[in-house]
Chain A
């Protein structure tokens, strides 16, 4: 009952006024208005905007890799004269032991990285969300069974479990993605369950129950949307770890197979020349670092907007 402050009148104009209208005229205007408010809060954080920029850059580079890359990422040049050249005007990031242009390989590697990131997010998030919300909402033995399964997955270090899966499924980028996805959903399930436990006893869930809504309808239409934002934040923050795990698997030779320009695998080859030809390992390493940082900054910014509770 403390004094909720009175807003002073301020009149925005044009597009902004339409977006910020207290009386939206359509579903879309309401939704866009919300989105705009979120964007305004997000864009006030310069680091978050940098993070978003890095992630957008990654996407653009992945889309236009063929146009940007000056050379083929797979076929090398003359092994006698163009092997392990230092960075120069012709080869911006230098060349590797197969006389391939490292810049072109890094550019094309962004596709693999993006592929991994998107697929893991698409597989792990829904699994975690569904397991968590169902477990939290239904409670009882369903909760016990699902959470014990989650605990089993949580008990293993992620890389070790991924290694075991890849060893069983065979090396390759697809299997690496499946392995990472399988090992990354349990924390999401935990988060979704914790949120659901808070939501399920609220009046608005009771109200929709009293309208005769079925359990799947309540979970999907009313519980999931509220869990989603904190999960998106967590997934974004996890992206750096996922990229590192994928690179780690590549480094160990269990992820992307040669000659695919996967950044982790590239670092692995560069290891042999680390002292004399530092750029072979450093260039893909920097790429991993920058993209991971980008996702972390973006995640922090999203958390401030989507999940104000956790921000402080």
Chain B
């Protein structure tokens, strides 16, 4: 009789756990709303020659050109949308035009903005590769950086910088003067508006600021007036990492596509995930099949819907298209 009761109790516990797991799966692992993107092409290979890479990190599109930060080679390489090499500029160093571990990059107003992780500055180039100016300096004071990881520029020209080791995102005027910040300088946190090594930022056409909260394994969104809007990535978006749909294992870059959707480079999950502006999971690609990524580092979206991804371990660039494209 006692054994019968014990079996019954164990059976009940097992059923409860299974039910909880099923509910958890339904609640925290969303189904894709779109098919995965289709692999189009890849180019690169390890080296320091034209078209080769030694740690490709950031990537950005300007018209019909693809700009890639080639971090260990200390340069920017430029390709056409089919991957044909066009030109390069920069070399390792600290002077004007030199680059110290360039990370995520962005193009705005006909200029290229490069977050220099080692030189603690944003360097601005003409699209022809000519150095134009610096923004920022080393430090933790307002307007200074400790390893900037990424940058976005608002339509009004304000700069938003993911200030990695300072655990904050800064908003600056175009001349570098401080406007405000999100996060507490030098302090990590998992609450809304706190960061755990922010790696990149992107801005939607409505002014929404998206932050890749790198080691918190989530994305946070803020309104144009600075208000926290939402966060997503795993259960409750509180630094729970995993391989499931909508979860992350270190977000290293963000891009907003022409439709306003958010693309996130999900580094250790070897994929790019796509979300609606409200954080709804749409699809993921790159984790398997043709074009399989080995650590997705950077992501950029072209006006025609194509998406370009820096495939870090493979030292190459991959190009993708929505599957329903004709």
Whether chains A and B associate is no
Please report B residues at the A interface, Cβ cutoff 8 Å.
none
